[in-house]
Structure formats: C-alpha cells, structure tokens
Amino acid sequence: MVGVSEDEEAPVAGATVRIAGTTRGAITDRSGFFRIAGLAPGAYTVSIASIGFEELDTTTTLGSGDSLFLMLTLEADEHETEEIVVTGTRTQRTIGDVPVRVEAVPQEEVEEKLLMAPANVAMLLNESTGMRVQTTSPTTSTANLRIQGLPGRYTQVLTDGVPNVGGLAAGFGLTELPPLNLRQVEIIKGAASALYGADAIAGVVNFITKDPRPEPELTALINVTTQKGLDLAAYAGRMFGDVGFTLMASRNTQPRYDVDDDGFADVPEYERTTVYPKMVLSLSDAMTLDVSLGLISDERLGGSMSGERQAEGSDAPYLESVSSQRLSGTAQWSWAFAEDQSLVVKAAAMTLSREAHYGTRPFDAAQRFAYGEAQYAAVFGDHSLLFAGVVSMDDFEDRTEGAAFDRSYRYVTPGLLAQEEFRISEQWTALASGRVDFHNEYGTFFTPRVSVMFRPSEEVTMRVGGGTGFKAPTIFIEEVEERGFDDVVLAAESAETAQSATLDVNWRTIVGESVGMALNAAAYLTRVVGPLKTWRPPLSHDPWVEVDNVDGELLSRGAEVSTKLNYEDFKLSLGYTFLYATLSDAGEVSELALNPRHSLGAVLMWESEEAGAKVGFETYFTGEQRLDDHPTRERSPSYLIMGLLVEKAFGPVRLFINFENFTDTRQTRFEPIITGDPAAGRVGLLPIYAPLEGRVINGGVRFVL
C-alpha cells in the first residue's frame, strides 16, 4: 500500500510501482493498493513515483514461497515532479517509460490556462509547441486544431480515451469544451491510426477528466471580461465508500463585440450551457464501472452589429446564426481479473443537431455517433500484450431544405488491433502495433506503427517511430466551414492515407541541488496521399462546389525544441517550432496556407505556496504565413502577443486577474477582415491569420476546497 506522509494516512491512487531492472510493475488503485506476483526469490529494489510526491526507492528480499506486505509512505515534493502517468499507448505508463512520444499537460498547467480562458480549451492547446488553433469562421468562432501544420480534420480528439469530436462537431468541439473538470491532457503527434483508428493522421489529443477522491473536492469560478463576457463554472466530486460522483456545470455568455468599430462583430455573441455528471462505482477490489454524461446547448450569432437574432436568414443585414444541442454518454467497465491481466470494455454514443443560417443560406443537419471497444491487456515477463476489437458508427443526416444534393452518409467501421511492447534490454524498449479497419464504404485499411526507445542513461531518452493512418472523406473540411456549407457536395472516391515518422531526444537533469532542467528536441515528417480540397468543376455553370481528392500529396516537415527550467518558486518554459508544409496538385507545388514557418513561445511563472500567490508572464511570436485568396498580399505579417496573470489566495478563496494580449495585437490593426457592407448583406471574409479580439482583461474569483 502507498500512502501520504505526515499522519494524513491518505491513499495515493495512480502511483507507479516498478521493480528495478525488470519490466514488472503496477499502478496503485483508488485505495492505494498494488500487487505484483510471480517474482523469483532474490533481492529487489522497488521504486514508487506519483505526481506531487518525491520518488521513493526501497529494497526488500523475497525468499522461496514468501508473500510480503509493504506499507510505503511518500513525502510531498515541493518541486514539480517529472513522473507523469499517461495512457497514450492504451496502457498506463510513466511518461519516461513510453516508447511512443507522448506529451502531457498536467493539471497544474491546465489550471493556469483555466484562469486565462475559462470558457474552453482552445488557449490551452494553441499555446503548446507544434500546435495551433486555427479559426475557420470568425463570424461564429469555429476553430480546428492543427498539429504539425496539418489541417484540423486530421486530429483525433478523445475524452477519456473515447472519440467525441469530429464531423459536424469538429469546428465547435474545442470552443465548447470547458477545462474545469480536466485532470490532464495527453498529446500524440504523428499518424496514430494503429492505436486510435481513422482521423488520427496528424495525431491524438486525449482530454482526461478528474476522478472522485475520498476527500471532497469543490471548485467554483466566476470570471468577467472587458468585452462583457461572463463565465460561471463549478466542479464537485467525492467518493462515498465504493461509489463516487463528479459534476461539472458551466454557463458562458458573450455579447457581440466590435473591436475596430467597422460595424462587424469581431467577437460573436454566444450563450452556452454545459453539464457533465460522472459516476464511478467500485464493484470489487479488481472491478470498476465509470459512467458519464454530457449535455451542451450552444447559441451563436455573428455578423453585422446592427442585426438582431429575429433577422436571421434575411437579405440584410448580414448575420450568421448557429444553434446546436449535443448529448453524449460513455460507460467503461474495467476488470483486473488476474495479476498483470485486465479487461476493459467501453461504450459511447453521441447525438448532435445543428440549425444555422449563413446570411440567407440555411443549414440544418444532425449527426449520431456510436462507439464500442473491448480490450484485453497482459504482461508476460518482458512482454506487454494488448488485443482489442472496436466498432464505430458515424451517421450524418443532411436536413437542409432546398439543398442541391443530399450529403448524408452512414459509415460503419469495425476493427481489430494488436500491440506488443517489449524490453529488449535495460536500454532498449520497442513497441509494435497493427490495426485492421473494415470501412463499409471505402474498403479495408491496415495501419501499422512501430516505435523504439533508447535510454543510454537516466538523463537521456531517445525515441524513433513511424506509423500510418487513414481518413474516410466527408464534407467537413476547413474550406467548407468557411463558406457555410453552401452548395457543397462530396465527390471524393477514395480515402486519405498517410505515413509519418518522428525522432525525438529528451534530456533531464538537476544542476546543483535546486535547478531542474528538461530539454526536448523533435523532428517529424508526415505525408498525406489524396488529401481533400474544394474546387468548382471547369466549364460548369452549376453553382455547387465539389470536395474531391487532390491528384498529389500533402507533405509536412518540421522540428520542435522546448525546454523547462525550475528554480525554487520559478518556472521558465521555452518552445520553438519550425514548420514547412506543401501541397502538390497535378504537378503544381504550393506552400500550405496559414502555417507560420517560425513560432516561438516563452512563459515565466512564479508561484509561492507560502504566500498563496502566483504571477505569470508569457509572450508568443508567430512568423509569416502564406495566404490564399487575399486581394493585396501573399504572406501575412509576423506578430507578437504578450500576457500577464496574477492570482492571490485568501484561504479557499483565490482572486485572479489576467491581462491577455495587453499589446492589443489583432488582425484588424493590419487590415480589415471583411469586404463589402455587412449592413447591406454583402460580406466577404479574408483569411484569418491573427487574433481578432485584441486586448482582453479578465478577472474573477475562484473558490477551491
């Protein structure tokens, strides 16, 4: 059993227990217990690591036929620990032991971004190295996440390991998900269809929600902004014996706001209500059941400042309105039926309806999604095996009146996957996985992935890996979202396929007794064959636009360097990304638009537990980007954004104020974002390459128990 020191006697759940020199180990359960069986007689060193505690090493001797009970006590670590448990390879591992490159955003960083943008997770991801949240429609504030320069449709977004954002939900998912109930965010960059199926061409982002604890947890937040936004959110959770509950609820409102006084809303109006209840049931020492629900109601209105919601769908003034309702549910049953063997069964369903008007153009659609998975995992000596069967159903119904084409589809994709992770030696570990998906419309896809990790010392880790991916075509690409789905038809006859490779090096050390350093450098290459684009058929007088495969490929290559320094109460994070992505179409090669070649970020944070205060300063540089369909320029200007955050605690009450983008950097300082007269109903939108909201000061109070 693993517990907390200083007479608190609280169990530590999720601690990683390892037998030094072997691949044997375990993860403590909610009661702090772990069990490792089948060890031969001899002397062993047991290592225990958990977030927020100092790592513990203890030595014990096991005789023939012995059975030992160890009561282990962890000391609280005043400094940030580097041992983070991740599930990026579908199994729980400390981040330093995973052959696949997995980046983790711990709860501490999630909470920092919560104070800057309580309404959604877009800022949390946008300020991560090698990632960019790209606005697809400024009128209704839709956005997609680009990983390593690839369009947002290639990123698989998960919640607790289950896909829940895609298709009709893709443009709104990141701007609808509040971060208050998040425990951790895990990111895999590069094609990962072997692990997570279609859509994981660019990578995977897994949002992991909090579990209830034995002690009650309560957080409430009130936030207001200088642009008249209001955020109300609360989270509560607790275990009651074998049953635990969590509940997150939020209400976010924002009126239309015209930053540059041109009569067009740079910040759209929205009213959003979110409710996420979750129940955790411990059926036995080895069996648990988790059930969660999600409800989101979202109303958005953008466009002319003179228009009212009652005027939606009219000729003038120009307005865009979107009304969406989303209901989702997930259940997970876990059973550790033997030592080093487990069975996990997951089931999920989601229904989403959207009714919208883009000027006079209506759009009415619904999407239903279902997912099922059964996974068996086992450890045999130096080998960790995993087998799973999955099935997904994506049912899109186009209900738009007067549409030239019925764009509805129903995709059903069962699949099988197998994975083996094995330790070759003390320094070498390899992981190989393969998956077969049987798509009902586009055929059978085999997607392998291989990763190798080399650890020449405790301070240095090197990883090299590669994999493949695929994606079934739909109309939900960025160009279609920008034009409001107007007269768009799917003409693609083949799925998009991809191959990617990644090399990264990690170095961690402690200088003296108080300075911690971590350095990561990575290089990557991704190739997508037959990517989708919009085009109008030549010599055609018909008004529609086709979404079709390009006769060529999309090639993204780049490199990332990031470093973290910890000294007493100070933390410094630096990150640089170089990116160059091109699209070849019928022999013509062009740079992919809206991808900065160079970007740089720096965050300096001071936090004192004794003073109950934190101060953070951040600055981000974004380099030039190639622009498509711009009347006056081929490349955007580079720009710099700075922010300052201050929080002070008074017992359980914490006051905070955030000066976001206090230099007031915005695209409308370079040029207007629209052409035409929105009051007369004539509007053209230019490509969005910089922030639109400009300087925003937000502040409020957070109650933490």
| Helices and strands in the chain: count of H runs, count of E runs | 5, 43
CA distance 329 to 476: 23
The first and second tokens of residue 138, run together, are 């400024």
The pLDDT value recorded for residue 64 is: 63
pLDDT, tens digit, 9 for 90 and up, residues 255-311? 999 999 999 999 999 999 999 999 999 999 899 999 999 999 999 999 999 888 777
User: CA dist 148 to 198, 297, 451, 555, 580, Å?
Assistant: 18, 31, 19, 11, 9
The residue with greater pLDDT, 13 or 135, is 135
Confidence grade of residue 537 (pLDDT, cut at 50, 70, 90): low
Identity of the residue numbered 382:
D
pLDDT, tens digit, 9 for 90 and up, residues 574-628? 999 999 999 999 889 999 999 999 999 999 999 998 899 999 999 999 999 999 8
Stretch (H or E) spanning 613: strand 613-622
The pLDDT value recorded for residue 244 is: 96
Q: Which of 136-145, 295-304, 378-387 has the lowest mean pLDDT?
A: 136-145
Q: Are 345 and 332 in contact (CB under 8 A)?
A: yes
CA distance 567 to 414: 50
Res. 47: pLDDT tops 90:
no
Q: Which of 1-10, 148-157, 243-252, 409-418 has the lowest mean pLDDT?
A: 1-10
Phi-psi region of 378 (alpha: psi -120 to 50; beta: other; left: phi over 0): beta
Q: Are 683 and 318 in contact (CB under 8 A)?
A: yes
How distant is the alpha carbon of residue 342 from its chain centre? 26
CA distance 389 to 141: 37
Counting residues of the chain whose pLDDT is more than 70, the rounded percentage is 91
Confidence grade of residue 316 (pLDDT, cut at 50, 70, 90): confident
Helix (H, G, I), strand (E, B) or coil at 679: helix
CA distance 604 to 129: 15
Confidence grade of residue 106 (pLDDT, cut at 50, 70, 90): confident
At residue 80, what are phi and psi to the nearest 5 degrees? -65, 130
Q: Could you tell me which residues are beta bridge partners of residue 304?
A: 264
> What do you get for the CA distance between the two ends of the chain, in Å?
26
Closest by CA to 469, choosing from 66, 151, 197, is 197
Res. 32: pLDDT tops 50:
yes
CA distance 464 to 461: 10
Q: How many CB atoms lie within 10 A of CB 411?
A: 18
The pLDDT value recorded for residue 68 is: 65
Res. 225: pLDDT tops 70:
yes
Select the highest-mean-pLDDT range: 19-23, 127-131, 229-233, 566-570: 229-233
CA distance 17 to 495: 43
The residue with greater pLDDT, 166 or 277, is 277
Closest by CA to 160, choosing from 63, 290, 248, is 290
At residue 638, what are phi and psi to the nearest 5 degrees? -80, 160
State the chain's mean pLDDT as an integer: 88
Q: Are 620 and 601 in contact (CB under 8 A)?
A: yes
**156: Cβ contacts below 8 Å, ≥ 6 apart:** 163, 166, 192, 196, 197, 198, 199, 200, 203, 204, 205
The residue whose two tokens read 């191959």 is: 499
User: CA dist 399 to 142, 542, 680, Å?
Assistant: 21, 21, 28
The residue with greater pLDDT, 685 or 536, is 685
CA distance 165 to 172: 8
The pLDDT value recorded for residue 293 is: 96
pLDDT, tens digit, 9 for 90 and up, residues 452-461? 999 998 889 9
Res. 645: pLDDT tops 90:
yes
pLDDT, tens digit, 9 for 90 and up, residues 673-705? 988 888 887 788 889 999 999 999 999 999 998
Res. 172: pLDDT tops 80:
no
Q: Are 348 and 394 in contact (CB under 8 A)?
A: no
- Nearest 5°: the CA angle 44, 45, 48 is 135
Q: Are 191 and 468 in contact (CB under 8 A)?
A: yes
- 311-325: average pLDDT: 86
The pLDDT value recorded for residue 82 is: 45
Residue 680 is given by DSSP the state G
The pLDDT value recorded for residue 52 is: 56
Res. 29: pLDDT tops 70:
no
- 110-137: average pLDDT: 86
The pLDDT value recorded for residue 240 is: 94
Select the highest-mean-pLDDT range: 22-26, 161-165, 359-363, 504-508: 504-508
Res. 16: pLDDT tops 80:
no
For β-strands 155-159 and 203-209, DSSP reports them as parallel
Q: Are 330 and 356 in contact (CB under 8 A)?
A: no
Confidence grade of residue 7 (pLDDT, cut at 50, 70, 90): very low
The pLDDT value recorded for residue 21 is: 63
Buried b (16+ CB within 10 A) or exposed e, 430-457: bbbbbbebebeebeebebebbbbbbbee
Q: Could you tell me which residues are beta bridge partners of residue 408?
A: none
Confidence grade of residue 543 (pLDDT, cut at 50, 70, 90): low
Res. 40: pLDDT tops 80:
no
The residue with greater pLDDT, 72 or 448, is 448
Considering only CA atoms, give the Rg of the chain: 25
Confidence grade of residue 80 (pLDDT, cut at 50, 70, 90): very low
